[in-house]
Amino acid sequence: MPTDLEARVSALPCWQGRPTVAPLPGGLSNTAFVVDDGRGRYVVRCGHDIAVHHVSRECERAASMAAHAAGLSPELVYAAPRVMVVRYIEGRTLAESDLQTMHERIVPLLATCHRDVGTYLAGPAGCFRVFHVIRDYARTLRAERAKC
- Enumerate the domain spans of the chain: 4-147
- The DSSP string of 12-35 is -TT-SS--EEEEE---SS-EEEEE
Q: In the prediction, which pLDDT does 137 show? A: 87
Task: Assign 69 to helix, strand or coil.
Answer: helix
Residue 42 forms beta bridges with which residues?
A: 35, 87
pLDDT of residue 1: 57
Average pLDDT of the segment spanning 6-10: 95
Distance CA 72, CA 4 (A): 32
CATH for the stretch 4-147: 3.30.200.20
Task: Report the alpha-carbon distance of residue 83 to residue 7 in Å, rounded.
Answer: 13
pLDDT confidence of residue 125: 64
Residue 36 pLDDT level (bands cut at 50, 70, 90): very high
The predicted-structure confidence for 90-147, as pLDDT tens digits, reads as follows 998 889 999 889 989 999 999 999 999 989 988 766 767 778 888 888 998 998 888 8
pLDDT digits (tens, 9 = 90+) for 48-74: 999 888 889 998 999 999 999 999 999
- Other CB atoms within 10 Å distance of the CB of residue 12: 17
| pLDDT tens profile 125-141 | 676 777 888 888 899 89
